[in-house]
Amino acid sequence: MHRHLISAADLTRDDAVLILDTAEEMARVAARPIKKLPTLRGRTIVNLFFEDSTRTRISFEAAEKRLSADVINFTAKGSSVSKGESLKDTAQTLEAMGVDAVVIRHGASGAPYRLANSGWIDAAVINAGDGTHQHPTQALLDAFTLRRRLTGRDTGLGQDLSGKRVTVVGDVLHSRVARSNVDLLHTLGAEVTLVAPPTLLPIGVESWPCAVSYDLDSTLPKSDAVMMLRVQRERMNAAFFPTEREYARRYGLDGDRMARLPGHAIVMHPGPMVRGMEITAEVADSDRCTAVEQVANGVSIRMAVLYLLLGGNEPAVTHARPSVSHHQPADERSAHTPFTAEEK
């Protein structure tokens, strides 16, 4: 990764910790009466959503607006895309309008990679989820939530997740969240175990930097966190598992199973949750479940990513090239932290 964020695998340990630390600072903004920073004033960001995702789009939009960026929302439905326009043409149209960054959600794995590497546009590209490939800001917000809960909000700064044991449960095969989390959590030193029926694990998973189990019950007592994945009901019709009832019985998280977790362990879910199948209401509504907290943390993480890619002097990633330097004299750039102006 250079000036784009395409995959969680592109982040080094130091890149990731810098993003998490920056997100802690961003989180403080959310606690203020006026939740706004001038950092990206004058910068234009397009949210280019080819696939429906209200949660992720709103999260990015909130992050962009809190950083004072000009925001353009583009959804494929009813747009030129539905008239047959290609990704390339759409990208070049946006480029002609002078956008600084494109946040892209696309149903096709690799679409953000193509956007960033095909010479179609010059803007920074941030992957907001592509097919079954990657969703790096989701992994970052999950890591942020884990670090806050397991290490502490103030004591966590500068820390990674060394030694933490995270169990990821469900449809790994079709999950960009699982792929992103395996990559990032491994980079941050955590031990990851994937738990799923064999039909929902990809061929070649044994080469991933994680353990694999088909047995949830034996894994739970050794977990500091359990991350439940969304399971689409239509998978049942494609014979990935026999019935919802059988799935819930073997891989669903209910109160009895939650009781097997160590006392400090948390339950995570990227949402939206299918209650009764993958997680019971009892678990979803318990104070050990961080689903709502993850949504809030998502805004902080996305603010941090946008700031570091577009506005920060301190690069978020190796060889990063803050594009602000193209537009502003050095003495007008943001200071080392983005908060100086507001805090004066």
Partner 1 sequence: MSKILIRGARVLGGEPQDVLIDGETVAEVGTGLSAEGAEVVEAGGKVLLPGLVDLHTHLREPGREDSETVLTGTRAAASGGYTAVFAMANTFPVADTAGVVEQVWRLGREHGYCDVQPIGAVTVGLEGRNLAELGAMHESAAGVTVFSDDGKCVDDAVIMRRALEYVKAFGGVVAQHAQEPRLTEGAQMNEGVVSAELGLGGWPAVAEESVIARDVLLAEHVGSRVHICHLSTAGSVEIVRWAKSRGIRVTAEVTPHHLLLTDELVRTYNPVYKVNPPLRTERDVMALREALADGTIDIVATDHAPHPHEDKDCEWAAAAMGMVGLETALSVVQETMVDTGLLDWAGVADRMSFRPAQIGQATGHGRPVSAGEPANLTLVDTAYRGQVDPAGFASRSRNTPYQGRELPGRVTHTWLRGKGTLVDGKLT
Binding residues: 55-56, 83, 105, 135, 138, 176, 230, 271-272
Q: What distance, in Å, lies between the first and last C-alpha atoms of the chain?
A: 34
Residue 315 binds partner 1, judged by CB under 8 A: no
Contact in structure between 314 and 321 (CB atoms under 8 Å):
no
Region from 129-137, 276-284, 305-313, 321-329 binding partner 1, contact rule CB under 8 A: 129-137
- The least distance separating partner 1 from the CB of residue 125, rounded to whole angstroms, comes to 13
> Rounded CA gap, 221 and 211, in Å?
15
DSSP, res 230: P
306 vs 55: CA distance, rounded Å: 17
Note whether 271 binds partner 1 by CB under 8 A.
no
CA distance 272 to 291: 9
> Minimum CB separation from partner 1 for residue 209, in Å?
11
CB of 114 to partner 1, least distance (A): 5
DSSP 288-331: TB-HHHHHHHHHHHHHHHHIIIII-SS-SSTT---GGGGTS-GG
> Dihedral, CA atoms, 165, 199, 278, 149, nearest 10 degrees?
20
Interaction of residue 209 with partner 1, rule CB under 8 A: no
The closest alpha carbon to 129, from 40, 235, 208, 54, belongs to: 54
Q: Does 205 bind partner 1 (CB under 8 A)?
A: yes
**Least distance (Å) between residue 110 CB and partner 1:** 4
Q: Looking only at residues 66 through 125 of this chain, which bind partner 1 when binding is defined by CB under 8 A?
A: 86-88, 106-111, 113-114, 117-118
Nearer to partner 1 (CB atom), residue 42 or residue 209: 209
By beta-carbon proximity to partner 1, the closer residue of 173 and 291 is 173
Chain residues that interact with partner 1, rule: CB under 8 A: 86-88, 106-111, 113-114, 117-118, 130-134, 176, 179, 202-205, 207-208
